[in-house]
Amino acid sequence: MSRLIVVSNRVNPPSDQGEESVGGLAMALAAALREYSGLWFGWSGKTTPEFTGQLNIQTAGGVTSATVDLEEIDLDEYYNGYANKTLWPLFHYRIDLAAFDRAFGEGYGRVNRRFAQTLAPLIEPGDVIWVHDYHLIPLARELRSLGVKNRIGFFLHIPWPAHQVMINLPRHRQLVEAMFDYDLVGFQTAEFQQAFEEYVLSEADGVLVSPGRLKGFGRLLEVGAFPIGLDAAAFAGMLETAKARRMHDLMTACTVFRHLIVGVDRLDYSKGLEERFVGFERFLTQNPDLRREVLMLQIAPVSRESVEAYQEIRTRLDALSGRINGEFADVDWAPFRYVNKNYRRDELAGIYRAARVGVVTPLRDGMNLVAKEFVAAQDPADPGVLVLSRFAGAARQMKQALLVNPNSPEEVADALKRALTMEKAERIDRWEALFEGVTREDVTAWRDNFVAALTGPRALQRPALVR
């Protein structure tokens, strides 16, 4: 393989100063590109009055990136529109929040075309292209129409919804058919892969030719589950930094005689924050004897602020966190700390380490890297307990966590109590099994498995037409 070209909506490699960028995807991709001498292509995050396709090529933090600016209308229709107001809510089962607007679909197609036109001249024979996430589903179709014959893989970081949910999308067939222009399509879990297969079987005369080999729309496609992992060793290594130690000491100092419960999430309705807050409130109500022994810290940096649903959930969370403290706080004590600030990754590591309980309760999540970060940061001699939603992709691997239904305040409250009162021996047993999994199925394993499946001997030869 000569080069790996990674394509994602945003390109944000770590800078030479080692400053950490937010987002599980960003961390995972930077790690992949350092290994293979590669190129990272995508949107610069900036807008321009008129799209020119002019590339900005830079090398930083060991990663070469090529970015393009987009027009304001592209942002509205493609990024805020089709990606974040249509596909994101739909794929997270929030049909009530999904906007179906023809202009969004057109913007989505236009930006994918523009990406393809700008990227195609950079592609050399032998390059392998790895496209990421729901923003860029039709990219392979656009590249193929420009004559690109290289191997192209696609990885979906978010859930693939059940067939009955998927068919709410106008022109869903067109979107799924475009996926057959990839050589390999990867999902986070076997469950999402199955849901995709079921769609193809019922909507596109599909046939499962053999495990992982799917026929549909008269074409053949490789599919597989590739659960994303953490840069586990690097993350655990961060605990040794001065920033992590300081944050750990700070959190330990402000929870003397108390246990810290921590949640860290982008402020997003899929992360189950409202339900979690209500679950914590229920815990406080039901356990007057434990009340003064806990502090719950929720870190939730704001995201996608220009999308209304995100403004609304932010308002509701402000009210709910105020209500919980109003109800339970005393002159010298408050049970809940809710912050919208963004912290450095090493600081987060220190915070996780200081916590007795990590609470990760999304309503739906492709994987959820916070669950893995919490485990990676624990003290082996006195580890904390992970409370994890059954509906996170991570629940498939992390069976020794306390698994809960995030929609049930009772289950969340009971799990918090169980985690806080769990004997050390059980905490250690559970953590050891979780840590072994997080270390074994790390980001390197994820990347190598995907790239091997895309380039290996089992890979299909183009053209993959079967009639």
Q: Report in angstroms how near the CB of residue 292 gets to ligand GDG at its nearest.
A: 28
Residue 157 annotated to the active site: yes
Asked if residue 444 binds ligand GDG (CB under 6 A), the reply is no
Pair of tokens at residue 48: 């321009």
Asked if residue 61 binds ligand GDG (CB under 6 A), the reply is no
State which residue, 81 or 263, has the beta carbon closest to ligand GDG: 263
Helices and strands per DSSP (H, E), number in the chain: 17, 16
State which residue, 158 or 355, has the beta carbon closest to ligand GDG: 158
State which residue, 215 or 276, has the beta carbon closest to ligand GDG: 276
The one catalytic residue in 133, 268, 346, 365 is 365
Asked if residue 157 binds ligand GDG (CB under 6 A), the reply is yes
User: Among 348, 359, 451, 454, which residue interacts with ligand GDG (rule: CB under 6 A)?
Assistant: 348
State which residue, 92 or 114, has the beta carbon closest to ligand GDG: 92
The one catalytic residue in 132, 135, 157, 248 is 157
Pair of tokens at residue 309: 């649903």
Sign of the alpha-carbon torsion through 20, 21, 24, 26: negative
Residue 330 annotated to the active site: no
Asked if residue 307 binds ligand GDG (CB under 6 A), the reply is no
Choose among 419, 366, 435, 436: nearest CA to 394.
366
Asked if residue 186 binds ligand GDG (CB under 6 A), the reply is no
463 cis-preceded (ω within 30 degrees of 0): yes
Taking the alpha carbons at both ends of the chain, their separation in whole angstroms is: 30
Asked if residue 22 binds ligand GDG (CB under 6 A), the reply is yes
Asked if residue 344 binds ligand GDG (CB under 6 A), the reply is yes
Choose among 233, 260, 232: nearest CA to 248.
260
User: Among 367, 376, 385, 387, which residue interacts with ligand GDG (rule: CB under 6 A)?
Assistant: 367
DSSP 396: G
Asked if residue 396 binds ligand GDG (CB under 6 A), the reply is no
Scan for tokens 């070469």, then name that residue. Answer: 64
State which residue, 255 or 298, has the beta carbon closest to ligand GDG: 298
Distance, C-alpha 117 to centroid of its chain: 27
Pair of tokens at residue 64: 């070469």
Q: Report in angstroms how near the CB of residue 50 gets to ligand GDG at its nearest.
A: 31
- Burial annotation 20-42 (CB, 10 A radius, 16+ → b, else e): bebebbbbbbbbbbeebebbbbb
User: Among 10, 13, 20, 161, which residue interacts with ligand GDG (rule: CB under 6 A)?
Assistant: 20
Rounded to whole angstroms, the Cα distance separating 286 from 37 reads 55
Task: Find the binding residues for ligand GDG in span 227-286 (CB under 6 A).
Answer: 228, 264, 266
Q: Phi and psi of 404, rounded to 5°?
A: -135, 160
Rounded to whole angstroms, the Cα distance separating 376 from 43 reads 31
Asked if residue 459 binds ligand GDG (CB under 6 A), the reply is no
Rounded to whole angstroms, the Cα distance separating 203 from 184 reads 20
Asked if residue 8 binds ligand GDG (CB under 6 A), the reply is no
Residues annotated catalytic, as ranges: 157, 365
Binding site for ligand GDG (CB under 6 A): 20, 22-25, 157-158, 228, 264, 266, 299, 301, 342-345, 348, 365-370, 373
